[in-house]
Structure formats: C-alpha cells, structure tokens
Amino acid sequence: MQPENHQSQYRRFLGPAVVVGLILLDILVSSRLQPIMSLAPGATRSKTVPVALAAAAVAKDDELLKEAQTLFKPLPQDLATAEFPINSDLVSLGRKLFFDPRISVDGTVSCARCHQPALYGTDGLEKSHGAHDKLLPRNAPTVLNAGMSFRQHWGGEFETVEEQAKRALLGAGFANPDYAAAMARVKAVPGYRELFKKAFPSEPDPVTANNWAKAIGAYERTLMTPSRFDVYLGGNTDALTPTEQHGLRTFINTGCADCHRGAGIGGEQFRKFGVQEDYWNATGSKEIDKGRFELTKDPADQYMFKVAGLRGVEMTPPYFHDGSVGTLSEAVRVMAIVQLGHEMSDQDASAIVAFLKSLTGKLPQDFAIAPVLPSGGFGMPRPVSRAKKLLKETSR
C-alpha cells in the first residue's frame, strides 16, 4: 500500500470516530452535571456547563487547601524565643562571626564556607571540607530555616542552633583544640571586643564560647525564606499554579506528608531512612552511615535520621546525608521507593518536583550580602597541616 492511500484511509476512519466520541463525551458530561445544573434555575445549558465545571474545580481547590492547612504551617517571621531572644546588636554580631574565617585553626574556614549564600546556605558538595581540607563525614544542609527543626544535624546530635554553633568551634570544620584557643582568635580581632560588649552589655567579660553561640544562633533565627507556598497556606489558592497544586495533592496522597509536615515540611521527627529497603541500594551510597545509631549506639536508632526539612530543597543539591543523589527528581524517586515501596511514574515525580519548587523563597537580605568584618587578627599561631608538612618533606 502507498503511504498516501494509507493516510487518506486513516482520515476517512478518523472523521466519524471523532464525531461519535464527541457525542459520547457530551452525554457523559451532561448526565454527570445534571444535579449541579438543576441548582442553577433558568440558566441555559451551554452556559452552565463551564460554570459548573469551574465551581467543581473551586471546591476541589478549597478541599486541597484545607487539607494542606492541617498538615503544614506558614513559616514564622523569625525564630526568637524567651530563652533565645533576638535584637539587632546580637544579630549583627552573629552575622559577622558567621562570615569570619579567622576563628578557624588554619584561618580558612568560616560557617559561610560550607553554608554559602550563593548556594542557598550549602556548599554544593557531597561532603564538606573542613580546616586543612579534611573531609567531613556528611553533607552540609542549608542554614536557611534550620532553626525550625526540632534538632540539629542529620542524626539530631544537637538540640538548638546555639549548641550546634558552639560545638562547631571544635569540630573538624574549625578544628580548634578547645574553646579558650577559639576565643583567643576572636579576641585577636580588636573590633570584636566592642561588638560583644554591645550585644551583651551586662557582662564584664563577654567574649565567651557561649556568647559566640548565642550571637550566631540569633542571626540564624532570622534566616527565614517564606515562599509562595506560605501565601497559599494563608488562603490564596492562586499563589500556586494548577501544576503545583496537583504536585501538592500527589505529595500528600503518596504519603510524603506523613513524614514531611509542619512549617519546615519536615524537621519534626526522626525516621528510618530505608523503611521498605536498604537506602544504599537506591542511592548508591559508598559508605553506610547508621544515622542516629552512630551517636546513641542504641540498635533501635539504626538508620534513623532527622526527616529533612524541604524548604528551599530545589536549591540545595546534592541530596541526602551523604550527598549521594544529584537531582531533585531522583531524590523524590528514591524517597518513594525506599520509604513507601512505591515505584513512582515520571508524571508523579515531576508533579512533586513542581510543588517542591514552590517552597523556594528569596534569600534574606542580611544573608545575601556579606558583612564587612573588623580588621586584624594576625599573628595568631596557625598549625601547619599534615598535607603541607608532607609537601615540605617531599620537596626537600
């Protein structure tokens, strides 16, 4: 058969088929909408069908909004509490300390090295590099909205952002031998004495590790990124596109919101990573991290991790505690299979990704712009790293 003949035959068949199809569709639609139409007396049929469809769609939108409002909460403006108040002197000092590399043992590592504004508060690496370029065991989560979480770090090692900031002075990031050595580095920058005095006016000797932590914590408690999703939760359904709303529906119906809920869309509990199967089969993780077990040694804590908060998640690849997954759509599929035993279709995964992108808010002004730091701080001892020593030995 010639190709043209084939085509014209096809068309001849298609014409009547379309007509029959349209008639069937018409019957279907009008019978379904009969009860709704009867509520609109006097309206002609051709007008009521679109109106009724629109009304049904609005009802569906409202239902989704109500459900979302029970599962999620809008972000608060800041995270000040009675125990951890914030004021402009504290926040301004904390902001400077956050960006200052001179407090680390080799003078290269500030909080901002691993929590970079340009990378939405992360370092974009699978695992972070600390002082002397030492590889850390886990991936750096964003500091944006981090204070929302009920604990800090993937295994919930710390209770508050303050406790986290204090311990960071001695961790592999800053690598100070003790708090006194760390505070000596702060004191070596003359301008800080004045700034600590302003932030802690009632204390005679305010340059302490606790106050370092309080100042940085206060700053972190201001780093919020409200997004269109918060406008939506406030009652404006137009703030999310129909595609994003469909993604939200899919997120809820698939079971993601069983764990990822609240204002942080997560960060409220520990859950096993690998409910249905070992996570490393899906992520290809090279090392097996046992999560909270590494801290508590309690067998019940094996593979328990903090449920990640998903605010701004679009901007913070690579994903998971070891940065083993590079894209958001892959991370969504991994979650579906590993946590819910659900092989997710392309459509569902991309709908969820569309919803997750609505969780990206603007960078706080105070974070996007780096502060100018007080000058000084030189002449402090800087221990030579093993790598540098090696280099010297081999070049000799």
Binding site for ligand HEC (CB under 6 A): 98, 109, 111, 113-115, 128, 130, 136, 138, 140-141, 143, 146, 149, 152-154, 161, 164-165, 168, 173, 216, 254-256, 258-260, 271, 273, 275, 305, 307-308, 310, 313, 316, 319-321, 331-332, 335-336, 339-340, 352
Identify the CA nearest to 157 among candidates 145, 168, 173: 168
Please state the closest distance from residue 33 (CB atom) to ligand HEC, in A.
34
Report the alpha-carbon distance of residue 396 to residue 391 in Å, rounded. 9
Helices (H) and strands (E) in the chain, counts: 16, 2
CB 375, min distance to ligand HEC, A: 21
Q: Which is nearer to ligand HEC, 33 or 151 (CB)?
A: 151
37: Cα separation from own chain's centroid:
45
d(CA 346, CA 162): 41
**Which is closer to ligand HEC, CB of 153 or CB of 185?**
153
Which CB atom, from 200 or from 320, has the smaller least distance to ligand HEC?
320
Rounded-to-integer distance, Cα 42 and Cα 86, Å: 62
Nearer to ligand HEC, 48 or 285 (CB): 285
CA torsion 122→128→129→135, rounded to 10°?
A: 180
Q: Nearest approach, Cβ of 207 to ligand HEC (angstroms)? A: 15
Question: Are residues 219 and 85 in contact, defined by beta-carbon separation less than 8 angstroms?
Answer: no
The CB-of-54 to ligand HEC minimum distance in angstroms stands at 30
To the nearest whole angstrom, how small is the minimum distance from the Cβ of residue 334 to ligand HEC? 8
Helix (H) / strand (E) element for 65: namely: helix 45-71
Nearer to ligand HEC, 52 or 359 (CB): 359
- Shortest Cβ 12–ligand HEC spacing (Å): 47
Residue 253: CB atoms within 10 Å:
11
Strand partners, 152: 158
- In sequence order, the 6+-apart residues with CB closer than 8 A to the CB of 367 are 117, 121, 144, 223
- Looking at the DSSP assignment, which residues form a beta bridge with residue 306? 270
User: At its nearest, how many Å lie between ligand HEC and the CB of residue 148?
Assistant: 9
Phi-psi region of 75 (alpha: psi -120 to 50; beta: other; left: phi over 0): beta
Which tokens hold the place of 262?
A: 């609240």
Residue 155 near residue 292 (C-beta atoms within 8 A)? yes
Closer of 33 and 344 to ligand HEC (Cβ): 344
CB atoms under 10 Å from CB of 63, counted, come to: 11
Instruction: Return the number of the residue (51 or 136) whose C-beta is nearest ligand HEC.
Output: 136
Residue 115 or 214: the one with the smaller Cβ distance to ligand HEC is 115
What does the DSSP assignment read for 257-312? Answer: GGTS-TTTTS-S-EEES-SSS-HHHHH--SS---BTHHHH--GGGTTEEEPPP-TT
Give whichever of 165 and 233 is closer to ligand HEC, judged by the CB atom: 165
Write down the least CB distance from residue 372 to ligand HEC, Å: 18
| Torsion over CA: 254, 258, 259, 265 (sign) | positive
Cα separation of 323 and 26, whole Å?
52
Query: Of 200 and 319, which has the nearer Cβ to ligand HEC?
Result: 319
Shortest Cβ 180–ligand HEC spacing (Å): 17
Tokens of 56: 């049904």
**Least distance between ligand HEC and beta carbon 164 (Å):** 5
